[in-house]
């Protein structure tokens, strides 16, 4: 075979491959897959997800085509058992894997990869389509329960303890208070919120079981309420104890102040005594000197 013939054969092969890609793309765009059911897939950010073709083994003449997003971007293909990932690295980096035996698509360490994934299977048996709507959810934090009331309250039955359940940096979640298994209140948010809060009022002597739950469609986190810890009663014993502590503190202060007063008084008395002795000594010396002169 001459060089010219080899060149023409390679050129025809490349043209045929490009034409096949173009024809496949036109079929997908013109006919679409709007009539097919969309399978919803939910996954937590950071996990991996596999979109299955439900094929046991790809045949030599089978063609598997994956597209993603509103622009139907070609991201992966198997044709004659040859894998082509196109420009998928620009979107997914090295996180996109295509199974050479089944054609199933795996996205690892999933992040902002929510969207519509379209699968086309072309074989001698016909053409079939599948669509997957992938939704990525952020990891759920554990709710935090805090008290807005004072450290303790009187034993009056009308006293209420105000509690606040909160979660940080969440979206597409619901925050709820439960009494046992009964829902008391709930709040939902779709957009990102720095802090989502839900209040609850309970009696100080309440013995029921309460819990705060944050959840999205695939996961939930629960925090149980410890009323004894967050809503403390001011009992008579605690009042007596506080009075005794106050008396002891007052006694210590009284002793301290008294000792300081006595110390100051003694010091002043000592200084006065020393001054009197000094004056007497000087007076005695003057009398002595006068007596000497008179002699």
The CATH superfamily of 144-233 is: Immunoglobulins (2.60.40.10)
Report the alpha-carbon angle 47-49-55, nearest 5.
160
Helix/strand/coil for 174 = strand
pLDDT surpasses 90 at 18: no
3-137 with 144-233: one CATH topology? yes
Query: Where does the pLDDT of residue 9 fall: very low under 50, low under 70, confident under 90, or very high at 90 and above?
Result: very low
Band of pLDDT at residue 244, cut at 50, 70 and 90: confident
Mean per-residue pLDDT, 247-265: 73
- The architecture of the domain spanning 3-137 is Sandwich (2.60)
How far apart are the C-alpha atoms of 3 and 10, rounded to whole Å?
A: 11
**Residue-averaged pLDDT of the chain:** 80
Say if residue 73's pLDDT is above 70: yes
Q: Which residues on adjacent β-strands are paired with residue 137?
A: 44
More confident residue, 72 or 293: 72
Contact 114, 43 (CB under 8 A): no
* Residue 133 burial (CB count, 10 A): 13
pLDDT value of residue 122: 95
- Reported as a pLDDT band with limits 50, 70 and 90, residue 281 is low
Q: Among 226, 234, 227, which residue's Cα sits nearest to residue 152?
A: 234
Question: Are 235 and 205 within 8 A, CB to CB?
Answer: no
pLDDT computed for residue 30 by the predictor:
40
Domain range annotation of the chain = 3-137, 144-233, 236-295
233 pLDDT band (50/70/90 cuts)? low
Q: Please tell me the distance from the alpha carbon of residue 177 to that of residue 67, in angstroms, as a whole number.
A: 42
């Amino acid at each position: 075979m001459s060089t010219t013939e080899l060149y023409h054969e390679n050129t025809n092969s490349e043209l045929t491959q490009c034409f096949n890609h173009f024809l496949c793309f036109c079929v997908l765009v013109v006919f679409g897959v709007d009539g097919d059911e969309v399978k919803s897939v939910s996954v937590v950010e950071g996990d991996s997800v596999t979109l299955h073709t439900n094929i046991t083994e790809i045949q030599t003449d089978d063609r598997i085509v994956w597209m993603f997003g509103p622009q139907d971007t070609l991201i992966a293909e198997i044709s004659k058992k040859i894998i082509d990932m196109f420009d998928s690295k620009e979107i997914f980096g090295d996180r996109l894997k295509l199974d050479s035996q089944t054609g199933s698509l795996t996205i690892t360490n999933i992040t902002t990869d929510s969207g519509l994934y379209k699968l086309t299977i072309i074989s001698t048996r016909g053409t079939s389509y599948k669509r997957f709507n992938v939704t990525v959810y952020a990891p759920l934090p554990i709710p935090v329960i805090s008290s807005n009331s004072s450290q303790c309250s009187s034993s009056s039955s009308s006293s209420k303890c105000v509690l606040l359940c909160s979660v940080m940096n969440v979206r597409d979640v619901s925050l709820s208070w439960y009494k046992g298994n009964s829902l008391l209140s709930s709040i939902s948010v779709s957009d990102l919120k720095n802090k989502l809060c839900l209040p609850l009022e309970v009696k100080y002597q309440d013995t029921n079981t309460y819990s705060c739950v944050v959840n999205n469609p695939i996961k939930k986190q629960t925090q149980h309420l410890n009323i004894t810890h967050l809503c403390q009663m001011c009992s008579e014993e605690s009042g007596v104890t506080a009075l005794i502590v106050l008396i002891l503190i007052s006694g210590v202060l009284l002793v301290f102040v008294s000792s300081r007063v006595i110390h100051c008084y003694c010091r002043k008395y000592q200084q006065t005594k020393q001054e009197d002795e000094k004056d007497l000594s000087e007076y005695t010396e003057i009398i002595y000197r006068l007596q000497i002169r008179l002699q």
